[in-house]
Amino acid sequence: MNQKRIYLCLAHMSGNEMKYIQEAFDTNWVVPLGPNVNGFEADLKTFVGENKEVVALSAGTAAVHLALLACGVGRGDEVLVQSFTFCASSHPVTYLGATPVFIDSEEETWNMDPQLLEKAIVDRMEKTGKKPKAIVPVYLYGMPAKIEEIMAIANKYDIPVIEDAAEGLGSCYDGQVCGTFGRYGVLSFNGNKMITTSGGGALICPDEESKRKIMFYATQAREAYPYYQHEEIGYNYRMSNICAGIGRGQMTVLDEHIAHHRHIAALYKKLLAGIDGITLHENPSSRYDSNYWLNTILLDDGLKVKGEEHAYEVAVQGAVGGAAGVTHEAKTLHTDCEPNRNVEAMRMALDKAGIESRPLWKPMHKQPVYRNNPSYLNGVSETLFRKGLCLPSGPCVTDEEVNYIVETIRESIRS
């Protein structure tokens, strides 16, 4: 059973991707515009709601960058960003010469804590005399944030919200699609997300005018002259018509993918129920409807896992997530903030059994690169990071494999 490695979320080309790619080749539309881009954007618009506009872009990171730009973020500004996230939520703030100010999470959804958010707004205005320029909540692992409360606070202080829904495509809060609450919503179609275009992203925009503005900045900010005329700095962020062809094919199986992730979540819930010391992250109430992009578990501090004494003995070779050869070699075996030994031992046991797992994302306020950034903390994200693991959850993961994964977890616990 463990000949084939089981990955967290592997892309699955199960729609009619080839038809759209073939059409692009046949008609020589291989540039970053064309029928597939228009078709993909139209399909996304249908999915998120016809009152929104959608621009396809080269990456989710590019979508964050352009949304910030469109909100007027510039040198010397501050942006309030959820600390418990992947670095692409905050790095683009720095591209613009602005400062990410990190907000910790609440325990129910693991996303931006609305109380800390308000505290931070008041405190930043007091300390800097300026209002933060934008708020970036995240739908981490697909779980909806307390977006209604976040929007109420954002509206009270009149600060635009950019929802990072890169991991949350198809998740809903009170029946409304995540990414459609704020002024902008970010989607990602990287190889490991809910659907993929091999690499790509999109920005959900409030109206035609904002969409045109985003497209302008994504196309090198070209003015309408017969020659190249530039009055502002732009970027090369449009999506290729080839990639958009993959995206159109993937849109035909998006509902299936979402249903599959939720089915895998339900199976984990059933199978993990009998294991003491392990808690599955679940929708806190019926208002939340996660896409369960990645299923995640917490290991109690007291849980004993076989091989704990060997955790962190050797430096990781090749790092996480197919980034081997690109990542820097680890200089130390430890950092000042790392998952508990039982978590690392469980990761190693699963790895040995051919199962990919990964610690939860290390909070940005604990990243050395952001050591001097202001942050508003309650300890939640750091605790989650120390205790948590992501488990295989993608479209290629079978029921049989979930059984095998949970059995491996059970056998790795020292009784």
Ligand X SMILES: *Cc1c(COP(=O)(O)O)cnc(C)c1O
Partners of 358 in beta bridges: 390
Structure tokens at 16: 């009619």
Supply the minimum distance, in Å, between the C-beta of residue 166 and ligand X.
4
Q: Which is nearer to ligand X, 21 or 59 (CB)?
A: 59
Supply the minimum distance, in Å, between the C-beta of residue 169 and ligand X.
11
Backbone angles phi, psi at 153, to 5 degrees: -70, -45
d(CA 181, CA 155): 11
Q: Which residue is nearest to ligand X (CB)?
A: 60
Q: Which is nearer to ligand X, 88 or 267 (CB)?
A: 88
d(CA 345, CA 334): 14
Q: Does the CA dihedral 119-120-125-130 come out positive or negative?
A: negative
- Specify the DSSP element, H or E, that contains 287: none
CA distances, 83 to each of 9, 106, 310, 365, 384 (Å):
23, 11, 30, 6, 12
Q: Which is nearer to ligand X, 390 or 406 (CB)?
A: 390
Supply the minimum distance, in Å, between the C-beta of residue 241 and ligand X.
18
- The strand order across the sheet containing 176-177 reads 176-177, 172-173, 288-289
Q: Are strands 375-376 and 78-82 parallel, antiparallel or unpaired?
A: unpaired
Q: Which is nearer to ligand X, 186 or 297 (CB)?
A: 186
d(CA 131, CA 25): 49
Supply the minimum distance, in Å, between the C-beta of residue 6 and ligand X.
20
Query: Where do contacts with ligand X occur on this chain (CB under 6 A)?
Result: 59-61, 85-86, 88-89, 138, 164, 166-167, 188, 190, 201
Q: Which is nearer to ligand X, 138 or 271 (CB)?
A: 138
State the Cα angle at 326 between 98 and 330, rounded to 5°: 85
Phi-psi region of 236 (alpha: psi -120 to 50; beta: other; left: phi over 0): beta
Q: Which is nearer to ligand X, 190 or 342 (CB)?
A: 190
DSSP letter for 180, please: S
Supply the minimum distance, in Å, between the C-beta of residue 396 and ligand X.
19
Supply the minimum distance, in Å, between the C-beta of residue 388 and ligand X.
15
- Specify the DSSP element, H or E, that contains 159: none
Supply the minimum distance, in Å, between the C-beta of residue 295 and ligand X.
15
Q: Which is nearer to ligand X, 68 or 303 (CB)?
A: 68
Q: Which is nearer to ligand X, 37 or 59 (CB)?
A: 59
Backbone angles phi, psi at 348, to 5 degrees: -65, -40
Contact 128, 374 (CB under 8 A): no
Supply the minimum distance, in Å, between the C-beta of residue 162 and ligand X.
11
